[in-house]
Amino acid sequence: MAKTIIELKRADLTLGSAAASVHVLKGIDLTIRAGESVGIVGPSGSGKSTLLMVLAGLERLDSGEINISDTPLHALSEDQVADFRGRNIGIVFQSFHLIANMSALENVAVPLELANVQNPFEIARRELKAVGLGDRLNHYPGQLSGGEQQRVAIARALAPSPALLIADEPTGNLDADTGRQIADLLFSKQAERGMTLLLVTHDASLARRCMRQIRVRSGQIEGDDAIVRNEAAIA
């Protein structure tokens, strides 16, 4: 069986202060194996994005443990977490999060340059070609369609060759056809590179394309379809 890449133990997090505080993650236990594709679904406000932010090291737990590739993120400093994230985790957002005054090429190359990676522009050019944007290198985000902007964001996420790709509603701002093409791209990159893919989606057909579906409700995991499938396989 494949190695464990993500392990959450009793993960607990409350966000906001005093009167506006929300107990968002309520003691979540979760294990994900290298190479899995996992769709995280659940009602609005159930804690899906917060869970992804914790897994990306962008939000810290109040208590509990988070281990990624055997690295205990809960025990690292903010700087160490940021460094780990830069080398191991790619992140894609619903609203692309590109820098408006940088070209597609710069959006991919500059983070590599900041991380002291050798030949950042060469790598960026290669990654943009690999997502079908070889002829859009010098376009700015405002000159690209939504689907093209998401391709740039995917190229940026993949450029450091992360073991883990995390996507929060990656097709949420796209029409159905474009969304399908973006999903095809994510799954084909996952297969090609043997990455682990974790995505949050409200699109049931997209979630069904994942090997495993996790249902979150009110800060807890209420269903995990891989477990059902495994039990069926054993029976």
- What's the closest the beta carbon of residue 129 comes to ligand ATP, in angstroms? 32
- Cβ proximity to ligand ATP: between 37 and 49 the closer is 49
Which has the closest alpha carbon to 96: 29, 23, 16, 153? Answer: 153
The type of residue at 183 is A
- Cβ proximity to Mg ion: between 9 and 23 the closer is 23
The residue whose Cβ lies closest to Mg ion is: 49
Which residues of this protein are in contact with ligand ATP, per CB under 6 A?
15-16, 20, 22, 24, 42, 44-50
Q: What gap in Å lies between CA 6 and CA 23, rounded to an integer? A: 22
Tokens of 38: 């996992």
- What's the closest the beta carbon of residue 200 comes to ligand ATP, in angstroms? 6
164-168 and 196-200 beta bridge pairing: parallel
189 binds, among Mg ion, ligand ATP, none (CB under 5 to 8 A by kind): none
- Cβ proximity to ligand ATP: between 47 and 86 the closer is 47
Residue 75 is classified by DSSP as G
- Cβ proximity to Mg ion: between 47 and 90 the closer is 47
The residue whose Cβ lies closest to ligand ATP is: 16
- What's the closest the beta carbon of residue 27 comes to ligand ATP, in angstroms? 15
63-68 and 196-200 beta bridge pairing: unpaired
Q: What gap in Å lies between CA 171 and CA 149, rounded to an integer? A: 11
